[in-house]
């Protein structure tokens, strides 16, 4: 009797685990997946991995040499917003605590340098670091039309939501 009960419990447990596993839906990335990153302008020194890489802005043609490794990766961005400021529309990226600390340190140590915003590896805007950014909010004017910018912000929000949920999932 005890052996039969143990077998039944085992079979039932396996079935429950199997059914629950089948119920979990694998989340797919959004259709227009966007990967935002922030790169710091490199100084003209060539020290191994710190060798700069040139990025050209799409509209103005401005060329900025940046450090190849991003200062802020897509996993350190928690929100994107389109905001109206005194001189037009800007893109606001809100960062995690870790990203905010990295941005603060870079903005203090590299005052006068520029920070380049890329989406899927394409530079779309930059901002000169003119002081300490201590609130984790990075504002940038981008070289895109307002209609395209509005759509980009929605796609960024979807992509960021996907990345944040993917990063929180235990592996």
Kindly report the CATH number assigned to the domain that includes residue 137.
3.30.1360.200
Per-residue pLDDT at 167: 62
- Classify residue 25: in a domain, yes or no: no
Q: What is the pLDDT of residues 106-133, one digit of tens each?
A: 999 999 999 999 999 999 999 999 999 9
Report how many domains make up the chain: 1
pTM confidence score:
0.78
Q: Which two tokens stand for residue 77?
A: 């961005």
Tell me, yes or no, whether 89 lies in a domain: yes
95's CB contacts (< 8 A; 6+ apart) are 72, 76, 77, 78, 103, 136, 137, 138
For residue 48, being part of any structural domain is answered with yes
Instruction: List the one residue out of 163, 142, 160 whose CA is nearest residue 83.
Output: 142
Residue 118 tokens read as 């890329």
Residue 28 lies in a domain: no
Range of the domain at 70: 36-168
What band does 97 get if pLDDT is binned at 50, 70 and 90?
A: very high
Average pLDDT of the chain, as a whole number:
84
Residue 5 resides in a domain:
no
**Is the confidence at residue 24, as pLDDT, over 50?**
no
What is the per-residue pLDDT for 36?
A: 96
CA angle 34/40/46 to nearest 5° reads 125
Give a yes or no: residue 152 inside a domain: yes
Is residue 18 included in any domain, yes or no? no
- pLDDT tens digits, one per residue of 46-95: 555 556 789 999 999 999 999 999 999 999 999 999 999 898 889 999 99
Please report whether residue 20 resides in a domain.
Answer: no
């Amino acid at each position: 009797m005890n052996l039969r009960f143990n077998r039944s419990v085992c079979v039932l447990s396996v079935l429950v685990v199997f059914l629950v596993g089948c119920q979990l839906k694998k989340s797919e990335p959004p259709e227009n997946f966007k990967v935002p990153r922030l790169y710091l302008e490199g100084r003209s020194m060539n020290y191994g991995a710190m060798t700069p890489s040139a990025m050209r802005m799409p509209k103005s043609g401005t060329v900025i040499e940046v450090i190849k490794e991003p200062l802020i990766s897509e996993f350190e961005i928690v929100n994107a917003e389109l905001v109206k400021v005194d001189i037009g529309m800007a893109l606001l990226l809100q960062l995690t605590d870790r990203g905010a600390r990295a941005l603060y340190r870079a903005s203090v140590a590299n005052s006068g340098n520029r920070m380049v915003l890329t989406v899927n590896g394409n530079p779309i805007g930059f901002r000169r670091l003119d002081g300490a950014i201590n609130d984790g909010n990075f504002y940038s004017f981008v070289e895109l039309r307002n209609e395209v910018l509005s759509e980009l912000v929605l796609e960024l929000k979807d992509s960021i939501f996907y990345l944040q949920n993917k990063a929180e999932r235990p592996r």
